[in-house]
Structure 1
Amino acid sequence: MNHYQGHVKKILSDTYLWICLFFIAIYTIIFSIFAIEKHQAYHSGIDLAVYEHLFWSTINQGSFFTSTLEGVNTFGVHFSPILFALIPVYILHPATETLLVLQTLLLGGAALPLFSIARHCIDDKAGIIVASAYLMYPALHGVNLTDFHVVCFASLFFFSAFYFLKTENFRLFFLFVLLLACTREDLIPISVMICIYGAWQVKRSSKDYKSFLIIAGILAAWFLIVIGAIMPALIPDGSSAGGHIFQYQKMMEGFGHYQINRLTHAALLLAPILILPLFSPDILFIGLPGFLEIFLSPSPYYYSIEYQYSALIIPCLFIATVKTLSTIKNFDRHQISCLYKPILCCLLISGFICMFLFSPSPLRSGSFSKSYDPTITEHNLAMDEILASIPQDAAIGSQEDILPHISRRTNLYQGFNEKADYIIADNQTKFIDIFHNSANSLASWNMIYSKSGITVFKNPALHP
């Protein structure tokens, strides 16, 4: 039997690995269904429309990641070179569902390197339980079901980099650190922190740590170039789509507001994992840039598990959980305590309970209301028919829950825009407010449809 055959046989007989893969498959199937149902029930938002329009226009029009929805090149809003890797995937099946399923697969698939880290640092059972706790994590569900965002790569790249650091495969460690840095500009500082942590780890083992610091320095310089030169250069003067570089400048503004929201968010992040990360401050230090971005942000959306921003810190929280469990087990081994097995059981139970209490998904039950109703109504079906009747080459202005359903066309606009051929408004959603300031302008447009709260206006400049 050669080395390859022996490796394959080992994988096929690895029961714990197959259990982990089974859980990942279940998660991927369930949350792909949830994400698609949410979209079909018109609960998606502007970000899903933006990303699909970026892919569609780049492939079909050569517009190089520029969307009429944002009005600027998307690399000025978020610097995400990883988007190039998604183009071949979208070409294979150019549909909104492709992005939703891909995001679910990436988030769920990150449980595999996390499982590998936990079994390497602790044992097989810990690997399964930590991976399960991750897949049941309410904040992960919020990331998964909030449109589509490139931060869905963060956990996979972070966990993979950490695994290869622990197994001393430094080439692959640096590869995944660089991939993490290519995901989004606010993940570059976290990549720097991983390299600094890696330098500290290998120095303790009397190994050469200089390459880690060199890469950290290069990434730090790259971050300053990205936010100081590249992103501003891609944003026209006076544009309101300035991206997050302006948020970094205003990070402390509004810190006195929404304090309860911040505390609640922290509690919902830590409760499912029994506040175990707090006992590994060295790991939490890696995620410091992400924690600062979230908890110092003037936007209340950042401190809510129902949005995508938790993806910045979820990986760090789970690596810290593994580190704490490893420490507790070592205490048990030296007869200092007997807490490891009870805590491991409590982690599984806590994850299960918190999933049903707090998950921003249809899994949520009890006295807590669901974040959205996945039921496809007659109103949704009527909107589908109306959207299908609009010419494919027409420019459309609409609200953010409608735009993801028409994102594969040349020109899209959020709200009223005089360049649009048609304006579609649905007054049965909260997003109708976007048209209130445009009432006078719409008065001169031709109303060609008005029924069941759906109104379609046609630009008077178009021929009847």
Structure 2
Amino acid sequence: MSRRSIPYLLAAVLCALYCAVSVPRQLRFETYGFDLGIFEQGVRGYAALGPPVSTLKGTGFNLLGDHFSPVLALLAPVYRLFPGAVTLLVAQAVLIAVSVVPVTRLAIEVSGRVGGTLLGTAYGLSWGLWAALEFDFHEVAFAVPLAAFAVEALARDRAVAAACWALPLLLVKEDQGLLVAGVGVYLMARRHRRLGAAVVVTAVLVTAVVVLLVIPANHPDGRYAYADAGEWDGGDPLSRLLLPGTKWWTVLALLAPTGYLALRSPLVLLAVAPLAARFWAVNPLYWGTRYHYSAVLMPVLFLAFADGLRRIGRWYAGWLRLAVPVLALLVAAVALPVPPPGPAGLRVTEARQVLAVVPDGARVAASNELAAQLTGRCTVSLFPRLTPPGTSGPWARPVAEWVAVLDRRDEGGGDSSPASVEERSAVAGLPAAGYREAASGGGITVYRWAG
């Protein structure tokens, strides 16, 4: 097998593995309205040649008023052919698998055929990618291959190619401007001053226009809802940036699969600004290793790893060319996150039959755990944020003719989370709101409004 074909073959194998992990989660009712259902509604809107509206967020809520991700429109043609949430999960698997090609390609040049393949496999199994794959779908899937090809181009000192791969990141999500600006600064440091400055200016201007104008223009309240997360509260900025210790654990976890040899390459500095922005935010979900927040950093760090090995030079020879990638693979395998479990007590076959009672095109309020099963064929809002027919509610929720909920009656006091308590209370109030039970079984219950 030639060196040139190995990266593509490895990407194909890992793509099949990614699909084998993510697609069955949808089939087993282990996905959620937040966020798979939301993104499917957005893509469904594009596929219908309309705006990316998500009724899970609110009636007529344009997702461009939440995050600037017009890149999702690229999925519309495929979704027209294969409508359903599974299409998004497969697309995400393909996009992330594509990023394996540039990482493995550079790794093979540095570590040889066997060592490079092992290092590419370690990247493909790295916890940041795995965490994204195991929790539904996110637009960041588009950022992963773009970042990988951009950083590979930087490692090869191909300035124009790096800029061309980096600039489309601005269409993925507004926070990717930090990575794009980092690419521009790196180009300037590598004596590509004009091109680098142009990339930085473009990143700053586009991000400013998006955050200050585009997103507020599409938001129901006329604002950028995530601006509060970055406001300074007047405290010690260093403490806010560096504490609590969860943030340091995330840094260690990011560098551990590379044996900290990524620090040998200046490419690792590209991860600083995106990581600092996460640590500055007040939401603790951004600080840790869960969900999709570290996915775009993984190609940056692994390509810095390969570049760092190259910079070691003659000391990186012999058995080290194999030992270091093997160590990276072992660390990546140990760090694989455990996928979140699905709803307790749910029997899939029976539950699917009960949901089939809801007709196509119906307006239905569904539990978060059930929403992604319906977004491909119904207008879905989130239960218990319910607007019964004949009433109005906050944020103008769609009027729900049907309600599909998890049967939490057997939970008793087992699940005392506010969301579960609120949902059980809302279910108890459905008869008074005019809803009658239409079908039940498999751990779910469907209600229909009877007036």
Contact persistence 1:251–1:297 (CA under 8 A): no
Aligned partner (choices 127, 130, 135) of residue 146 of structure 1? 135
Counterparts of 1:44 and 1:452 in 2: how far apart (Å)? 17
Counterparts of 2:234 and 2:287 in 1: how far apart (Å)? 14
Give 5+ residue unaligned stretches, structure 2. Answer: 388-398
Q: CA deviation at 1:459?
A: 1.9
Counterparts of 1:210 and 1:356 in 2: how far apart (Å)? 42
Counterparts of 1:320 and 1:169 in 2: how far apart (Å)? 15
Q: Secondary structure at the match of 1:310?
A: coil
Q: CA deviation at 1:168?
A: 5.1
Q: CA deviation at 1:69?
A: 1.0
Q: Does 1:233 align with 2:217?
A: yes
Aligned partner (choices 273, 277, 282) of residue 262 of structure 2? 277
AA in 2 matched with 1:268: A
Q: Does 1:196 align with 2:185?
A: yes
Counterparts of 1:136 and 1:401 in 2: how far apart (Å)? 27
CA RMSD of aligned residues (A): 3.0
Q: Deviations over 1:358-408 (max 9, x none)?
A: 312xxxxxxxxx434589987122211111121112111112221111012
Aligned to 2:10: 23
Aligned to 1:459: 449
Counterparts of 1:383 and 1:257 in 2: how far apart (Å)? 46
Aligned to 2:53: 66
Relative distance call for 1:295 and 1:455 in structure 2 (3 A) is same
Counterparts of 2:345 and 2:93 in 1: how far apart (Å)? 25
AA in 1 matched with 2:47: I
AA in 1 matched with 2:39: Y
Q: Does 1:442 align with 2:427?
A: no
Q: Does 1:39 align with 2:26?
A: yes
Relative distance call for 1:118 and 1:252 in structure 2 (3 A) is farther
AA in 1 matched with 2:404: I
Aligned to 1:364: none
Q: Secondary structure at the match of 2:29?
A: coil
Counterparts of 1:397 and 1:233 in 2: how far apart (Å)? 27
Contact persistence 1:154–1:315 (CA under 8 A): no
- The within-5 A match list for 1:374-385 is 379-385=347-353
Q: Which moved more, 1:300-309 or 1:70-79?
A: 300-309
Q: CA deviation at 1:48?
A: 0.6
Counterparts of 1:408 and 1:121 in 2: how far apart (Å)? 46
Q: When the two structures are superposed, what TM-score results if normalisation uses the length of structure 1?
A: 0.82
Counterparts of 2:359 and 2:124 in 1: how far apart (Å)? 42
Counterparts of 2:349 and 2:242 in 1: how far apart (Å)? 41
Q: CA deviation at 1:94?
A: 1.6
Q: When the two structures are superposed, what TM-score results if normalisation uses the length of structure 2?
A: 0.84
Relative distance call for 1:245 and 1:86 in structure 2 (3 A) is farther
Q: Does 1:400 align with 2:389?
A: no
Q: Secondary structure at the match of 2:70?
A: coil
Aligned to 2:231: 249
Q: Secondary structure at the match of 1:446?
A: strand
Q: CA deviation at 1:340?
A: 4.5
Relative distance call for 1:268 and 1:288 in structure 2 (3 A) is closer
Q: Secondary structure at the match of 1:448?
A: strand
Give me the identity figure in percent. 20
Aligned to 1:209: 193
Q: Which moved more, 1:230-239 or 1:86-95?
A: 230-239
- The within-5 A match list for 1:298-447 is 298-328=282-312, 330=313, 332=314, 338-360=315-337, 370-372=338-340, 379-416=347-384, 417-418=386-387, 419-427=399-407, 432-436=420-424, 438-439=426-427, 441-444=429-432, 445-447=435-437
Relative distance call for 1:162 and 1:25 in structure 2 (3 A) is same
Q: CA deviation at 1:31?
A: 1.6
Aligned to 1:51: 39
Counterparts of 2:187 and 2:375 in 1: how far apart (Å)? 42
Size of the aligned set, in residue pairs, is 423
Relative distance call for 1:437 and 1:63 in structure 2 (3 A) is farther
Q: CA deviation at 1:325?
A: 0.8
Relative distance call for 1:251 and 1:133 in structure 2 (3 A) is farther
Aligned to 2:253: 268
Q: CA deviation at 1:224?
A: 1.1
Give 5+ residue unaligned stretches, structure 1. Answer: 1-13, 333-337, 361-369
Counterparts of 1:251 and 1:155 in 2: how far apart (Å)? 32
Q: Does 1:183 align with 2:157?
A: no
Counterparts of 2:323 and 2:368 in 1: how far apart (Å)? 41
AA in 2 matched with 1:33: A
Q: CA deviation at 1:179?
A: 1.3
Counterparts of 2:424 and 2:277 in 1: how far apart (Å)? 33
Relative distance call for 1:290 and 1:390 in structure 2 (3 A) is same
Contact persistence 2:354–2:444 (CA under 8 A): no
